Structure formats: structure tokens, C-alpha cells
Amino acid sequence: MGTLRYAASRLLQALGLVLAVVVLNFVLVHAAPGDPVETIAGASGGMSPELMAQLRTQYGLDRSLPVQLGVYLGKVAQGDLGYSYFFNLPVTSMIAERVPATLLLVLSAVLLAFFVGTALGVLSSRRPNGLLSQFITVLSLVGFAAPVFWLGIMLVILLASVFPVLPVAGMRSIDSTGGGGFADMLDVAHHLVLPTLTLSLVYLAQYSRLARSSMLDVLGSDFIRTARAKGLADRVVLYKHALRNALLPVVTVLGLQFGNVLAGAILVETVFNWPGLGRLAFESVLRRDYPTILGVLLFSSIVVVVMNQLTDLCYRFIDPRIKTS
Amino acid sequence: MQLPPPQLPLLTRRTTLLSATLLAASNLLPLYAFAAEEPKRGGTLVIGSTQTPRHLNGAVQSGIATAMPSTQIFASPLRFDDKWNPQPYLAESWKLAEDGKSLTLKLRKDALFHDGKPVTSADVAFSIMAIKANHPFTTMMGPVEKVDTPDPYTAVIRMGVPHPAIVLAMSPALCPILPKHIYGDGQDLKNHPRNTTDVVGSGPFRVTEFKPAQRIVMERFDKFFLPNKPYLDKVIVNITPDMASLVLGLERGDVQMLPFATLPTDLKRFANDPRVSLTPKGYDGIGALNWLAFNTAKKPLSDVQVRKAIATAIDKNFIAKALMGGFATVSDGPLVANSPFAVPDLVRYPLDLKKAGEMLDAAGYKAGANGERFKLTIDYLPGADDQQKNVAEYIRGQLKKVGITVEVRASADFPAWAKRLASHDFDMSMDVVFNWGDPIIGVHRTYLSTNIKPIVWTNTQSYANPKVDELLNTAGGLIDPTQRKAYYATFQKIVTDELPIEFINQVPYHTITNKKVANVPTTIWGPLSPLDEVYIK
């Protein structure tokens, strides 16, 4: 079977998956008590019944749920995610405005977790029962077990209040005019430290555990013994022979875990007031802003599906042993 | 509780004329002539806010989230001081007709919109009709039939019935004057694109950046019609859903003003902080009451004796002093204590657990073998635990002592709670409701039997008393403030006697500011009024 045909069938599967995600999200979101018009009435400090009925008609909320779903699917098929009920802005432009912030946070967290996590894992695999290894194990267990929001709050208290070296929240200084110049980039980087650290700690712990066990696995195999037997330096054995092979499972997890990192970003963005997609999704749920919630979830599901498909496809090139079943 | 001012000085013909003339004259005097120091020009004020505005146009969107920026961007015909007296703003003088059916506004001739076009009576007429058609508070401009514009600087608001509330309805938070040349293009005003982008008003600050749910940046409007004002160069509203990070921001100096703060822990922390000032002033206009609402359509709460017994089992002083750290004041009636219409002659229910038990016995709800008389549920507004959840928990404990088993029902978020209230699916619920200045806007809605609706903040208590309906409907149209107050006095007596609501406390809103901020807004609308006089020392 050709790669092209394989890719096409995977694409079809992906489309079905995204459709299922949209329908499921639609049903779940509408199952939550209360509706967007009540939220708007709440934000207004009260509202007349006529106005509420008018808004419901305008948003199509007076129609039956299946009809609303049909209308929504029809629009999504044409690439129209609709307007936010709350802000009366196109959902696509709201998402587009917030993608860079989330991407910046997620990528820096993933990269930090990957590099530092792997490095810690490799270090601790050299002497699996040494003091350093024990320390890293404890550290990664704590990182793995602690809730993200708790970690975030603790880091804020430590590094923004007790030792006020880092900003409390936000992506830029309050009086920043943005602009993207060098000073602006420094400002954003300064604000990025705490959220990245918080989001990456959980994954850092995971990757270090994974890298450690994978390294131990590989270090026990025959070709390592052969390498050592032919007199190669310890460093070469470790980093050139063992690490390369040990990395495979870490890379796999990295690709597959992208969705989890996005989910973690919701919490971190909320704690740090980071203006990304996660915060938008969370606050839209509180506002029952259906089009925005569905838009963000649809976008995220597409990102996750694409990442997974890419991982799968890459595998076929990296490891020729993996063939279609 | 303090007595309210002896009379409302804004509505009789003579005082109106007199005050208008005096105020017009005083307007010529240099401002803050008596202030200890000269206000300083320049600087940026960062306001921390947990409230997310939908957009910036307060003419079609009520609520504090929009009002805070909207009152900076848009000017209104009048503004108010801290004693409910109207002051000239866009209108140099004004006159409510003797029959209460027309309000004549004489506009100043030098007011400009941010795009350079002059503010005329056509804009005023357009805005008032726009507010009538779109603003969620329908009773505010309801009686307005049309606005005549005999010349470019005179606007005459004509009403079908006498409507004294029209003067207060000219406030910055309620009556932003929109430029007709922008908003009069025939598009639906509630969804007008200019509510969000390139918003143009005639207020002291113009918008330079609006990022929904993130921040609003407003810069000084150099051609603002009041000379030398505003003093600030820039106002930034920094929106964060998390109060704790705003508090931290204030401590660090990133944020200079934090309005609508209620948490006793925050207030206590700042009360002794030499870097900040704290004031409870500036919240009379919105008049926020924290109360326990009874669903009077449901047994046993349909029995007024049961409601009275419950009230008798609650110690409001404990709530205000202990639960709210002494920052809140007890409330005993439907009007906020500083309202010109509030009266001290109310029916009160001092704590007496024994008496409460006897009242329940007398009402026919004897305690069963396990000491229980009946079960009730209590809901509360999520997200304001200090005012709502904690009080609900306290009430549960108190009512247990008199044999009522209460289940505190949590709601996941605002829409979930609003749904329960709107569908009248509750026994008792804690709630925060605003007076919004004139009783006709924020008070009538809770008690009129014609307003029993499946909507939050209507008469979801299902309270119906024809006498109360008549009193309110008459009071709404009385021009003479003394007479009007007399009607409201009877209303307050009846409502506190029949108790569809157990009033608990006034929400202890405070404005916390960095010591460097001078002229912190303490008028009746406080932070919901133009910040043109605020400056940084």
C-alpha cells in the first residue's frame, strides 16, 4: 500500500474524528445549565423579557437543538465559525488573535520539558541508584503529582511576591504598547518565564522518567556491550549509541501528548492571565458563549489530530519497520 | 444607620433653576481653588478590574463592566456630586417642567467628539431614543416619547407621563451621548461594530486600544470641553478575572486603583498599608444590597410568619462585623441607606432564637421527633463567597438551631445559578441586587407583581401586593420629592413587614488606590463616572 493512499485514508479518518468532536462538544456545551442570554442579562445588571427574547431569536437559540446543530455544522463546513455572542466579534479573528500567545507558551513549555527532562533522565540513568538519580526521581514525582494550578500559584507567591523578580501575570507589562521590537520581546520573555516553568514541570517530570527507563533499557542491550567491548569512550557510548535509540519513545510521547499540553495550557493561562486560547475557552464556558467555545475546541481538535497524523506519518520514514497493518 | 438627606434638592422647579444658575456660574471659577495643592498634569492610571465588558458603548449595554470605560469615553448631559445633586456636564443648565413631562437641556457650545465634530442637540435626541430602544433598563427612558431640538444646543425630552427619574437618568453611567453621524447609520446599535472598534464619544478620554477580556487603553482627549481637564494622560483598565493577582499588582505598584473590592481579607490587608488608601465612598448610586430572597410561591415560605421567623433567627450584625470583617453595614430595607428616598422607619427583626421557634410553632410547624420542622434549600451567587456563600452557610447554621434543615446548593457558575432563579426553582437564595440610583430603575423591578418573570433580577420572589404595586406606580410619577419620598416610606414599611426578602447588608464596595492617586472618585457613581479630575501626585 502506497504512502499516498495511506495518508488519504488517515485524512478521512481524521475528518470523521473532527466531526464527532464537533457534535459531541455541541451537545455537551448545550447540556450545561443556563444560556448565553442569561449571562448577558447578568452582565447588564438585569434585562427586560422583550430584549431577552429578541436576543434569543437573533442568536437562533429559540430553535430546536438539532436544527441549531445543523445550522452550525453547515456554517463550519463553509469555514464560518460564527460570531461570539458575548463580544459580537468573529470567532475566527478572536482565535487568530490568541493563537500566537498559546503557541508561544505551549512550544516553549514542551521544548523546555523535552530538553531538560531528557537530560535529567539520561543523567539519572548513568547511576540508577546514585544520589543524583534519587533526587531527580523525587523531583519528577513531585512535578508529576502536583496540580498545575497549585504549582503556578506557589511559583507566583515565591517569585512575584516574596522575591518580586518576575511579573505576576499577563503577557506584557501593563503600560506596554507592544510593537514587537527588541524591548517588547524581552518584556514578553520576562512574562513567559513563570507560565512556561509551571506548564513544563509536569511534562518535564514525565520525560525524565521516560528517558531514564528507556536509557536503562537500551544500556542493557547487546549493541551497547559491543560498543563498550570495542573500547569506545563512555561518553560516545552514552550519547551517540544509547541516547539516539532511547529517544524514540520520548519523541513518540512528545507528539502524542500535544493535546494534553494544550489542555494544561487552559489552567496555566487562567492562573497567569495569559491571553491565549485556553483562557478564552475557559471564560467562554463561564459565559456560555457557544460559538466561541465550539470554535476554540474545533481549532484545538484539528491541531491535535494534525499533530497525531504527522507523528504517525513521520514514523513511517524514521522507522522502516513500522508498516501499515 | 444615618438619616438620609432631609430632601432631594434636585427636582423642584425653584431649586432646579437656582442650582442651575449657581452651578453655571461656579463652573467659571477655577477648579479646586480651595484644594491644598495644585492638581498635576500627566501620568498614567492603571485600574484593575475583574469585570469583562462586552463592548464600550454604555448606551446599549448596562452593568459596571461597560460603564467604567464608557463614562470615560462618552460624556453625558449631567453628572452628579456625592450628595445626589446634578451638576452641569454637556448641559450647562437644565429644567424639569412643572408637570414632570419634559426636561429641557441647554447644551454647552464648545463640546466636541473625539473625531472633531461638535456635540449638538441632534446627538442628544438620537442618543436618548437609542437608549430607550436598546438599553436593558427599560423603565429608565420608558416614558420618553420624543426629543425636540428647537436649536442645535437645546434638547427638550418629552414624556407621556410625569417622570422625575429622568434627571438621574442623565448620569454618565446611564446616558452616554453618542455621535449621531457614526451610530445613526441604520445598523442595529446593540451589535454596532463601532461599539468595539474606533469608539468615538465626547468624554475626557479617547480609546486607543481595546482588547476584549484583556485591556482597555484610553488617552487624554486634548479638546475635551472642560478646560485643563482631564489631568491624566492615560487610563488603562487591566482586566484579570483573578482578584488575587490584582491585589498583588496593587501591592507591587503595577496597578494604582482597584474599585469594587469587597473581600475582608484584602480590605484588612490594605487598611494598614501605608502605600494605599481605602474608601467606601462612591457606591451610593449603584446601591448594592446583599440579601436573602424567599420564594413566596412555595410552601412553607408562602407563610409570612415563617419568613419572619427566619429573619428573627439571623444576626445581621454578626454577618457584617464578623463575616465581613466590620467593613459592611447592615441593611434593613429595599433602598440603600444613602438614597434620598430611604427612611429609617422600617420593621426590624432583632435576633431572638427563642422567639423564632415560637413563631414557627404558632405558624403550625412544630418540631418533629428529631427536632426538625421542615427542610429548605438555599442557593447563592457563585464567585463572591464573602458576600454570598459564607452568609448562606451561616444562615444554614442559624436555622438549624430553630429546627429548619437547610441544604446549601452550590452552582457551578453564574449561568447555572441564574437559570435556577429565572425558573423559580429555589426556596431561598442569596443575591446581590443594585438600586441603580433611582428606585424606578433598580428597586421597583423586585416588588411589582407585574414583574414576576422567568428572568434573573425580576420579581423572582413572586411577591404580590396590589397596595405595593399602586404605591410604586404612583411614586414613580411624583415630581415633588417630599411627596414621592412619603410614598416610598409606606412602601418600605410594607415590604419590610411582609418580607419577600430578608435584607442583610450593603455590599462593602471599596476603592483601593495607591497613595499617589489624588481626587479618587467619591461621587454617587464613584468609579462609574468621568475620571477627569483624578491626578497622580
User: B210: helix, coil or strand?
Assistant: strand
Which residue, among B273, B276, B274, B315, has the nearest Cα to B292 in the 3D structure? B315
pLDDT number for residue A176: 78
Q: pLDDT averaged over chain B?
A: 91
**Is residue A38 within 8 Å of residue A288, measured between CB atoms?**
yes
At B36, is the pLDDT very low, low, confident or very high (cuts 50, 70, 90)? low
**Is residue B166 within 8 Å of residue B103, measured between CB atoms?**
yes
B236: nearest CB among A33, A40, A174: A174
Nearest residue in chain B measured CA to CA from A90? B193
Dist CA A263 CA A275 (whole Å): 15
Q: pLDDT averaged over chain A?
A: 85
Q: What is the DSSP letter of B323?
A: I
Beta bridge partners of residue B374, listed in sequence order:
B404
pLDDT number for residue B321: 94
Decide if pLDDT at B6 tops 50: no
Which B-chain residues 449-468 have CB contacts (< 8 A) with chain A?
Answer: 453-458
Q: Phi and psi of B442, rounded to 5°? A: -110, -10
B15 lies within 8 A of chain A by CB: no
- Counting every residue written for chain A, the total comes to 325
Tell me the pLDDT tens digit for each residue of A176-211. 777 778 888 888 889 999 999 888 888 888 888 888
Tell me the H-state helices in A127-276: 131-145, 148-156, 182-219, 222-229, 234-236, 243-256, 258-271
A31 lies within 8 A of chain B by CB: no
List CB contacts (< 8 A) between A173 and chain B.
Answer: 254
Residue type, A252: T
List CB contacts (< 8 A) between A273 and chain B.
Answer: 240-242, 245
pLDDT number for residue B14: 41
pLDDT number for residue B210: 93
Neighbours of A172 (CB within 10 A): 18
Decide if pLDDT at B13 tops 60: no
At A320, is the pLDDT very low, low, confident or very high (cuts 50, 70, 90)? low
pLDDT number for residue B24: 45
A53-62, B33-42, B191-200 — most confident range? B191-200
pLDDT number for residue A260: 80
User: B276: helix, coil or strand?
Assistant: strand
Decide if pLDDT at B2 tops 60: no
List CB contacts (< 8 A) between B52 and chain A.
Answer: 43, 283
- Give the relative orientation of helices A182-219 and A131-145 as an angle to the nearest 10 degrees: 120
User: CA angle, A290 as apex, A289 and A294 as ends, to 5°?
Assistant: 120
Decide if pLDDT at A221 tops 50: yes
Cβ-Cβ contacts under 8 Å between A and B: the total is: 142
At B408, is the pLDDT very low, low, confident or very high (cuts 50, 70, 90)? very high
Q: What is the DSSP letter of A83?
A: B
pTM for the full predicted model: 0.86
Tell me the pLDDT tens digit for each residue of A233-280. 888 888 877 887 788 788 778 777 777 888 888 888 888 889 999 889
Mean pLDDT for the stretch of residues B211-229 = 94
From A89's Cα to the closest Cα of chain B, the distance in A is 8
Dist CA B482 CA B16 (whole Å): 15
Mean pLDDT for the stretch of residues B98-118 = 96
What lies within 8 Å, CB to CB, of A288 at 6+ separation is A29, A32, A34, A35, A36, A38, A39, A85, B415
Mean pLDDT for the stretch of residues A122-139 = 83
Annotate B175-198 with DSSP letters as a single string: -PPPPHHHHTSSS-GGG-GGGTSS
pLDDT number for residue A168: 82
- Of residues B32 and B79, the one with the higher pLDDT is B79
pLDDT number for residue B361: 95
Annotate A256-304 with DSSP letters as a single string: HTHHHHHHHHHHHHHHTT--SHHHHHHHHHHTT-HHHHHHHHHHHHHHH
List CB contacts (< 8 A) between A36 and chain B.
Answer: 415
- Counting every residue written for chain B, the total comes to 537
Mean pLDDT for the stretch of residues B506-532 = 95
Tell me the pLDDT tens digit for each residue of B415-426. 899 999 999 999
From B382's Cα to the closest Cα of chain A, the distance in A is 11
- Range in A181-185, B159-163, B493-497 with the lowest mean pLDDT: A181-185
What lies within 8 Å, CB to CB, of B220 at 6+ separation is B204, B205, B206, B230, B232, B233, B234
List CB contacts (< 8 A) between B238 and chain A.
Answer: 170, 174
pLDDT number for residue B31: 43
From A199's Cα to the closest Cα of chain B, the distance in A is 18
